[in-house]
Amino acid sequence: MNSIVIGSGFGGIAAAIRLKAKKHNVILIEKHHDLGGRARVFKKNGFTFDAGPTVITAPYLIDELFQLFNKESKNYIQLTPLKTWYQFIFEDKTKFNYSGDEQEMKNQIEKINKDDFKGYQKLVSFTKKIFDKGFLELADTPFDKPFVMLRQLPALLKLKSYKSVYSLVSQYIKNEKLRRILSMHPLLVGGNPFSTTSIYGLILYLEKKWGIHYSMGGTGNIIKGLEKLMTEIGIKIIKGHEVTKIITNNQRIKGIKLDNNEEIMADNVVCNADPPAVYDKLLDETNYNKIFKWKRKRMEYSMGLFVYYFGTKKIYGNIEHHTIKFGDKYKEHLDDIFEKKKLNDDISYYLHRPSATDSSMAPEGHDCFYVLVPVPNNQSKINWSIQGDKIKNLVIDKMEESLLPNLRENIVEDFYLTPDYFEKDLNTKYGSGFSIQPKFTQSAYFRFHNKSEVFSGLYFVGAGTHPGAGLPGVLSSAKVLDKIL
């Protein structure tokens, strides 16, 4: 069996390894000269900037890939658990250290609102139920047939999946600050907490179950370890070539065409590239029936991301590894981004400081960061070559005020990425950060199917297919493929 995987994000790499374990001849093709997709690494003057994922959860999903070949992940990668998972900071300077230590969580919650700890415990118990169903049972279940979805509907309704994560959390928690903290998880996978199905409340429990980890040397070292594994087990990797067409005959996949006109024939083509972009650009639309055309048209896309990477000549030792700073107009900011597709100055942001855990990420005496600001995706038609510098300056001002004094004069290295990078470099429709949104009407059967609903021999793994974005999601999508093939 000859299989081609297009794209080397975590989902694509996991799919290639799983197919190799099934004795397929596997070719992995990546447009860029380096692997990882959103998890690529940018190295600049002694600073190591992980481009994307930094919060590593459910590490067993990575271990499994090594175990398929009787290898131990610890010989390739080194993960370390973090004590404080996130520090949340509000405009009025209230801080909350979020962790897996229940006594510490009690102290932190009671500092903000004494009455909410009981509700928190009830919320955790409820998210365990969602986790048992939504993650343990369904994350690696193929949803390519309608009856699979129909069978699950009663259980999903019982778990209140018609509610949003924010409204689920509000049922248990009274204080607005705590509501924001405990409902922020959809933002990690591209959804608005005020509209994302409460199934994603499972992330709260998933973090508790396996903790939050950091990969020493950066997330890029996981990609490096997986690349080493792929080479050892005989996966052919083609870097620096883009697939420009998927060759078909009568709705059956035949192979692919590269940007140098080379054609490679295969029995299966697995796309880790963004499904809506693949159906738009690499395949022939005349094969799509009315229902599929309607499905593509009605899809709603996740937000865009503005990511500013910077190194400083000063060490900001009081900044935690992961900080989330809420602006005052949080809900309004999210509404502007997701619904109105416009920028808002009262930003909320996530600040990553890997050098808090790993001094190898910056030259001696220096500090390494990235700050991520959710912004509208490219449906907004924002001209990022004009707005980019404005947002950069806005976020530096905001960080100087509340977290990093005298930041501007201490920056020695910097660059940023906008939704244009996600659209043009990573081939993602509308430059969204996480492909299509994680809404109920776009989950499981309603997402782009792992086994194409249009062509035989065509499969999808990664953020835009079931179960969705985030490392646990895309690694699970490769397990779905494993079951289908």
Ligand X SMILES: Cc1cc2nc3c(=O)[nH]c(=O)nc-3n(C[C@H](O)[C@H](O)[C@H](O)COP(=O)(O)OP(=O)(O)OC[C@H]3O[C@@H](n4cnc5c(N)ncnc54)[C@H](O)[C@@H]3O)c2cc1C
Residue numbers at the binding site for ligand X (CB under 6 A)? 6-12, 29-32, 37-39, 52-55, 242-243, 272-273, 305, 307, 372, 426-427, 433-434, 462-463, 469-471, 474
Rounded least distance, CB 154 to ligand X, Å: 30
Rounded least distance, CB 290 to ligand X, Å: 27
Asked if 239 and 443 touch (Cβ cutoff 8 Å), the reply is no
Rounded least distance, CB 32 to ligand X, Å: 5
Rounded least distance, CB 343 to ligand X, Å: 18
User: Other C-beta atoms within 10 Å of 151: how many?
Assistant: 10
Which CB atom, from 105 or from 471, has the smaller least distance to ligand X?
471
**197-209 burial, b for 16+ CB within 10 Å, e for fewer?**
bbbbbbbbbbbbe
Cα 236 to its chain centre, rounded Å, is: 26
Dist CA 461 CA 16 (whole Å): 10
Rounded least distance, CB 30 to ligand X, Å: 5
Which CB atom, from 259 or from 345, has the smaller least distance to ligand X?
259
Rounded least distance, CB 176 to ligand X, Å: 25
Tokens of residue 479, six digits: 């397990």
Dist CA 457 CA 172 (whole Å): 46
Which CB atom, from 55 or from 165, has the smaller least distance to ligand X?
55
Asked if 27 and 232 touch (Cβ cutoff 8 Å), the reply is no
Which CB atom, from 356 or from 426, has the smaller least distance to ligand X?
426
Tokens of residue 432, six digits: 């969204």
Q: Helix, strand, coil shares of the chain as percentages rounded to 5?
A: 45, 20, 35
Tokens of residue 102, six digits: 């229940």
Rounded least distance, CB 481 to ligand X, Å: 12
Task: Tell me the residue nearest to ligand X as measured from the CB.
Answer: 9
Rounded least distance, CB 478 to ligand X, Å: 8
Tokens of residue 21, six digits: 């374990």
Which CB atom, from 10 or from 76, has the smaller least distance to ligand X?
10
**283-303 burial, b for 16+ CB within 10 Å, e for fewer?**
beeeebeeebeebbeebbbbb
Alpha-carbon distances, residue 227 vs 8, 184, 325 (angstroms):
10, 33, 35
- Burial label for 394, CB within 10 Å (0-12, 13-18, 19+), is middle
Which CB atom, from 38 or from 341, has the smaller least distance to ligand X?
38
Asked if 202 and 131 touch (Cβ cutoff 8 Å), the reply is yes
Asked if 360 and 393 touch (Cβ cutoff 8 Å), the reply is no
Which CB atom, from 11 or from 193, has the smaller least distance to ligand X?
11
Tokens of residue 107, six digits: 């102290």
Which CB atom, from 76 or from 306, has the smaller least distance to ligand X?
306
Rounded least distance, CB 370 to ligand X, Å: 8
Rounded least distance, CB 443 to ligand X, Å: 15
Q: Tell how strand 2-6 and strand 25-30 pair up.
A: parallel
Which CB atom, from 109 or from 269, has the smaller least distance to ligand X?
269
Which CB atom, from 159 or from 269, has the smaller least distance to ligand X?
269
Rounded least distance, CB 346 to ligand X, Å: 21
Which CB atom, from 373 or from 403, has the smaller least distance to ligand X?
373
What is the DSSP track for 196-211? SBGGGGHHHHHHHHH-
Rounded least distance, CB 264 to ligand X, Å: 12
Which CB atom, from 109 or from 253, has the smaller least distance to ligand X?
253
Asked if 84 and 321 touch (Cβ cutoff 8 Å), the reply is yes
Dist CA 200 CA 193 (whole Å): 9
Tokens of residue 428, six digits: 């993602």
- Burial label for 383, CB within 10 Å (0-12, 13-18, 19+), is exposed
Dist CA 363 CA 185 (whole Å): 32
